[in-house]
Structure 1
Amino acid sequence: MEKRQLVLEDGTIFTGKAFGSEQASVGEVVFNTGMTGYQEILSDPSYCGQIVTMTYPLIGNYGINRDDFETITPSIHGLVVKEVCDSPSNFRNEESLDSYLKANGIPGIAGIDTRKLTKIIRKHGTMRGVFTEVGSSVTSALELINNTPQMNNQVERVSTVKPYVVPGRGHRIVLVDFGMKHGILRELTKRNCHVTVVPYHYSAESILRLRPDGVMLTNGPGDPKSVPVAIEMIHNIMSEIPVFGICLGHQLLALACGADTEKLKFGHRGSNHPVKDLTENKTYLTSQNHGYAVNEASLEKTELLLTQIALNDKTVEGIEHSKYPAFSVQYHPESSPGPEDTNHLFDKFLAKIDQHHVTIKEEESCLSVQI
């Protein structure tokens, strides 16, 4: 196949050069504004079921290497670029982007007007699309889109099937995998944490039985309201143990505390999103990838405090519980790819764990004195 079409659900057709897999694929068409990091994006489980448009015009110029993967098996449904590089040049390069996509069954299209596509998404919001052969009718493409069920089990698709341990001598952390990026695991092991990774549906009782020092809620794809079992679990553990949520984990923490979430028109996807920390009066550049956000007004009826906001659209970027040692952020402090401005949040999490231990000992001491 030398050429292919990308057909949007509104009937818009883009015709370009085919690369990657030759299979047809339906997905939600979104855009990412990052200039680099396409390998991390391709392997980010949060893109499960999506066709990603890269706004930077040249993609694939540094190839694919063994070090920058965020998961073993990619879940992305397609890639859209202005120009794909067939001859990558980088000292770490091991294969081309085209070769990687072919090996993983991911179709791509190049040579289309990605600015036009991005403007359509910004104006009308994200919409579903399908890759088809050139000459296929719009009617048949739209039928394929309409006959393909909306994906609502993305977390189940990308979460680990059973628990496993990454040993360490430091804090014992339970990492609830909703579609974990390996960058989160790297940051915890860098700090010598003993990490137990568990599936998304692991119960509060099972987590507490592991006697962890803290619980991390990872990133993941889709609507947070489609994971009610996780919302219940978080509600039951946050009064017992320190909790740190990232991206989807942030949204799930908010829902567990009684707040609400909403779908954004076209989401935040890129490595240059400015976020203001209201508690420190500082601004950070962050890496983001999400289509849903916490509704700020809904925080008023909860015990959650607004700690950070997005400077581009004022959406909620950080919350913290006023009573329990639980906090979360909407962006990615593990920065894969992106700036490392907020890497210190992992240290904040471990500091909260230490403070929680001190508080427990003080309470136990007071109780023994009373007895």
Structure 2
Amino acid sequence: MHDRSARTRGIALTERQRIAWLRLIRSDNVGPVTFRELINHFGSAETALEMLPELSRRGGASRVIRVASQAEAERELDLADRHGATFVGIGEPDYPPLLRQIVGAPPLLAVKGNLNVASAPAVGIVGARNASISGMKFAGLLAREIGRAGYSIVSGLARGIDTAAHRASLDTGTIAAMAGGLDKPYPPENIGLLGEMTDGQGLAISEMPFGWEPRARDFPRRNRLIAGMALGLVVVEAAVRSGSLITARNAADFGRLVFAVPGSPLDMRCEGTNGLLKDGATITTTADDVLESLRPLSEPDLFTPRPHAGEPPEDTPPALRLPPSDGERERIAEALSQVPAEIDEVIRHTGIAAATVYLVLLELDLAGRLQRHGNGGVSLTPE
């Protein structure tokens, strides 16, 4: 039902660029934010790859940084192809349009299935793994009616509410954000459901390498994908400490609308959703509660961002800058601590040019000495 002509414009990567991007994001200590900073500073992934060992050495690395080889990248591309998957870069037409706007958006996504689904406005539906029968029925009802209104349904392929949301939107379009590689779906009992999705009106996405077994610490990254792709997020059932509430916090941080289904105060699975309602989430008892709130945000122009929005430049001449001096490195390192600080604060405190501060932070990051935080702050890693 989704019109591919509505897909946002973008520039396709060449095969050489795709391999270089994959090598860069798979190299040690390179996350999405670091990837973008490297591309911005050096103009291309190929130049950044050449500079990784030198940058990490200047940052005080205790060992030589591992740089992913061309052979490794080509093997992963071949593996993706054998699984019927491909890689989409952040500036390319098939990249989910709202996801590209968040801080720390993955530069490359492994995708499998119907790419048309990614171009439609999306609604996330998440909730408890140990969901009640009524919770799963209501999640399915919401997903079915919201899907029929033209939205893709995004969830995390987990047991319970996620499963109900995906199943109810198989015919209208559903997206599974995965914590492991596309070839390592979790939980195993949803392998059949994932196959139904990717063979029909569904799509699976992951920022993790093929062969990656999902671990507990990978699920918050998966939750960011769900929140980042969606215009709004509906939480059906959630305990006080749950991944669904992490996803809701991500959604609020990204400026998305958060919806919550009220439940009995006696049911622990509703404690988190009732808490979201106290914090200002939109009360949701019908699909119309979601659709009416999202209608003003669903204009087509929203999905036609500025040309190249969120897209790292490629193949531009690298900046001709001298390396930072030892004195500048020392002053910047002294200004940092294990307490997060905004980068603008570091620039003001040290009086050092912004470009130099960003480069020194890159050096520390690649040396494994810097932590980046979701709000754009940075801190030193514990000794």
Q: Same fold (TM over 0.5)?
A: no
**TM-score normalised according to structure 2 size:** 0.25
Bigger fraction of residues in strand? 1
Task: Say which structure, 1 or 2, has more relative contact order (CA 8 Å, 6+ apart).
Answer: 2
